[in-house]
Structure 1
Amino acid sequence: MNETQRKITFDNRRNRDFSKTVKARVNAYFAENNLSKFANAAMIRKTIALFTLYFGSYALIISDILPVWGMWAMCFVMGLGMAGIGFSVSHDALHGAYSANKHVNRLLGLSFDLLGANGYIWKITHNVIHHTYTNIQGHDEDLEVAGFIRLSPNTEHQPIHRLQHLLAFPAYSFATFFWVFIKDYKYFLQRDLGPYKDKKHPASEWAILIVTKLIYYGYIIAVPMLLLDITWLQFAIGFFTLHLTAGLTLGIIFQLAHIVEDTEHPVADTDDTIPEHWLVHQMATTADFAQDNKFLCWYIGGLNFQIEHHLFPRICSIHYPDIASIVRQTAREYGVPYHCYETFGDAVGSHYRTLKRFGSAEKATGDEPLQNSI
């Protein structure tokens, strides 16, 4: 494989005690309670429920026993199921956190492809690039939503950004639509991907991309049009309802993890070094929200515990509510940031204000080096 990578490094000599302590305490929690770090019975029940929500709604549509308005309603439910599977099943599996068995993770990770996305490219852009270079402009691909949306104060300001607080949420709604038809192909074809230069992809992954995309287009477009007595307009309304629902749900949840008022956007020094330990960098650039909201904790796979996920991505999300107090207390002891918004609404409001702030001026606060902000 012919690839080079601009090396951004972290000064892991700093705050080593925090890193060692938080890891030791979390490991002790699982050992003392004789718990596996992977999926438990509750996670398996949730997995079954979310797959039933998505494919059960699809089956009802294809059965042609519902009136048109009923089919439309099931498209909305499918959108919620699609987002839920992505949050709770695909995400954990692609991180290798669902099961200790890599083959189980591989199989469940294919649910991502079955939803129209590509698990291989996600593992590069999310697992490797985003998780390593969180909120570092020019490296973190999650900051590159669209040219008219500025998610980092270190991105060059354009006049259109002054409207981004109005444009962003509608843009998020098209996230899965863009993913299904454009994003994966774009990433496979472009030479540079984040810090990777001239990235080459295995022929086997190209084959999986093409085959799984055709399967998705087949069951989501061809089958309904062949079996149902509906017009193209009716199909389009249902299809867009599905993707606008899933896209908005996914887009908002993922943005609340990093693009809020308290999180930092560090700048590397002249030696391409972030002057802080990698774990502290994750704490400073990440936020939790709505930790006491039982429904959100269930539905979004613990992604409202994004701090815990970034520190321990190989632990199944079902356990994040239980280890959050350990991480929070350890952060407090060592003077490390722990950003958390009490409610979902608080986090959405903070994201909206951040969009306005980043869109209003060429240089917004928050672009200073990390050591000046914690």
Structure 2
Amino acid sequence: MAPDGNKLRQRNVPAATAAKEESDDPATTDRIATLKGLAESEICIDGTIYNIENFDHPGGESIMMFGGNDVTIQYKMIHPYHTSKHLEKMTKVGTVPDYTSEYKFDTEFEREIKREVFKIVRRGREFGTWGWHVRAVFYCSLFFGLQYLWMTTPTSLLLAIVYGVSQSFIGLNVQHDANHGAASKRPWVNNLYGLGADFIGGSKWLWMEQHWTHHSFTNHWAKDSDALGAEPMILFNDYEPNHPKRAVVHRFQGLYFPLVLAGYWMSTVFNPQILDLNHAGSSEIGYSWDNKYVQKSRKYAIALRLLYIYCNIVAPFQTNGGFSLEVLTHILVMGIAESLALASLFALSHNFEHADRDPTYEARKTGEPVCWFKSQVETSSTYGGLVAGCLTGGLNFQVEHHLFPRMSSGWYPFIAPKVREICKKHNVKYAYYPYIWENLISTVKYLHQAGNGTNWQDGNPYTGKL
């Protein structure tokens, strides 16, 4: 979903003219519908239903993945230059009259932070820098070189660890920006880099279904698929003391959560959701992933998963003369190395002391929507600086990433000082840890508190004021 409004207008003038002529036809009437009544080629934005089946989208056909859903928040978070002119290029076909939202946009805080950040990163330059692409090529070369050794030479513990970590670098530095549409303004570049998710055992399609939902509802008590995804093993949400999801074992989750994260690779590679590309977590909160785009992508996702399993599990056994416990151990170590290097960094981002665990609390209490931009800041943290940025692809700047998810992570170190300045001006809490170990300690403390319910001794932690 590209923010280039001028290009959008130029490419879709004929379509817009036709749509206007159709709307002027007295015989044409918009239908009244509900969100559950959306067709697979329709999306809802602010209560208006649009048909996107023939929409020539500058960001590529990945927009079709969201057919059949309310994409109000996804649309606005990806289009920082949004104006009403953008929506006029799509065909309006109906309305959802009782549409409501817990979030609001175009607040004073949002306007100022975008105005000042766009002075640093000019329009059209928010994509991957030369430095970002050089780093991406380096990590891709490192990965494929190590994969060649993994498939053709005897395995070892050292190779397993280094190769596993190299896969995490693809997840952090390459596919993440690409599947946000932030690596390049050219869709084919994003699509190519985005397949990095599949080359490290994941799936770009499942990733987008989950991750874009997470971005829309960060730390939302009932809608953040990331916060709910580790249950019942880990409770990232701080449920009330007598909640049925709580168990005695959660009192110790601050100690055992690295063991759960270590199994991330195994649970991803052998995830049966690859068969239908229907991400269970986001489906449970109301999203539909059964449209033509998803259906046609299934065969590619399955083929890539089989290729990954062959290259990383079958081939090492073949090269080493058949099945052996030693090779199996090396494969498991490889997976654990990737899991810990990848999942542990993401676990820090939104689970720390004093994070807002329920940004829409006031919306439900008063009926007044809350600022989406403010919620993104107060549910995220930033740690480290340049070195951490090179290792994580800039994703250590999670506050900046959640404010501008379509901006390449290579820009985040440049905009971070201004973001902090504006947050301080508007009394928006900005969590910053100079060193990663400080963020890690805070995460362990939060998990311990969330596991044993001690936060409730000081009142309801879901007020966002802990």
- Do these two structures clear the TM 0.5 threshold for a shared fold by scoring above it? yes
Paired amino acid for 1:339: A
Q: How far does the alpha carbon of each residue in 1:215-251 deviate from its partner, in whole angstroms, 9 at most, with x for none?
A: 1112112222223336421221111111101111112
Alpha carbons of 1:225 and 1:37: their partners in 2 closer, same or farther (altered >3 Å)? same
Give structure 1 stretches of 5+ with no counterpart: none
CA distance, structure 1, for counterparts of residue 397 and residue 389 of structure 2 = 8
**Which of 342, 353, 363 is equivalent to 1:250?**
342
1:141 alignment partner in structure 2: 225
Query: Deviation at 1:8?
Result: 7.2
Give, as a single letter, the amino acid of the residue that structure 2 aligns with 1:298. C
Deviation, structure 1 residue 168: 0.8
Answer whether contact 1:94 1:123 (CA < 8 A) is retained: yes
1:320 deviates by: 0.6
Q: Relative contact order (alpha carbons < 8 A, sep ≥ 6): 1 or 2 greater?
A: 1
Question: Which whole-Å CA distance do the structure 1 matches of 2:390 and 2:416 have between them?
Answer: 15
Number of residue-to-residue matches in the alignment: 362
How far apart are 1:89 and its partner, in Å?
A: 0.4
Comparing 135-144 with 305-314, greater Cα deviation is found at 135-144
Percent identity of equivalent pairs: 23
* TM-score normalized by the length of structure 1: 0.89
Question: CA–CA distance in 1 between the matches of 2:207 and 2:110?
Answer: 27
Deviations 1:45-67 (A, max 9, x none): 21122122222122223342x6x
Partner of residue 208 from structure 1, selected from 300, 309, 327: 300
Matches within 5 A, 1:46-65: 46-64=135-153
TM-score, with structure 2 as normaliser:
0.72
**Match among 364, 369, 381 for residue 287 of structure 1:** 381
Residues 282 and 197 of structure 1, relative CA distance in 2, 3 Å threshold? closer
Structure 1 segment 196-345 matched on structure 2, within 5 A: 196=286, 199-201=289-291, 202-229=294-321, 231-266=323-358, 267-268=360-361, 269-270=363-364, 275-291=369-385, 294-345=386-437
Q: CA deviation at 1:4?
A: 6.4
Show structure 2 runs of 5+ residues with no match.
Answer: 1-38, 41-67, 72-98
Give the deviation of 1:30 after TM superposition. Answer: 2.1
Q: Which has the larger radius of gyration?
A: 2
Aligned twin of 2:194: 109
Q: Is the 8 A contact 2:225 2:282 kept in 1?
A: no
CA, structure 1 residues 363+301, in 2 after alignment: closer, same or farther (shift >3 Å)?
same
Secondary structure in 2 matching 1:288:
strand
Cα shift at 1:124: 1.2
Match of 1:80 among 155, 162, 165: 165
**CA displacement at 1:11 relative to structure 2:** 4.4
Q: In the alignment, residue 217 of structure 1 is paired with which amino acid?
A: I
Amino acid at match of 2:159: M
Check conservation: 1:193, 1:199, Cα contact below 8 A. Answer: yes
**Which moved further from structure 2: 356-365 or 183-192?**
183-192
Cα distance in 1 between the residues matched to 2:368 and 2:333: 42
Structure 2: distance between partners of 1:63 and 1:118: 25
SS of the equivalent of 2:382 reads strand
2:74 corresponds to 1:16: no
Instruction: Assess if the C-alpha contact under 8 Å between 2:160 and 2:330 holds in 1.
Output: yes
Aligned partner letter, 2:158: A
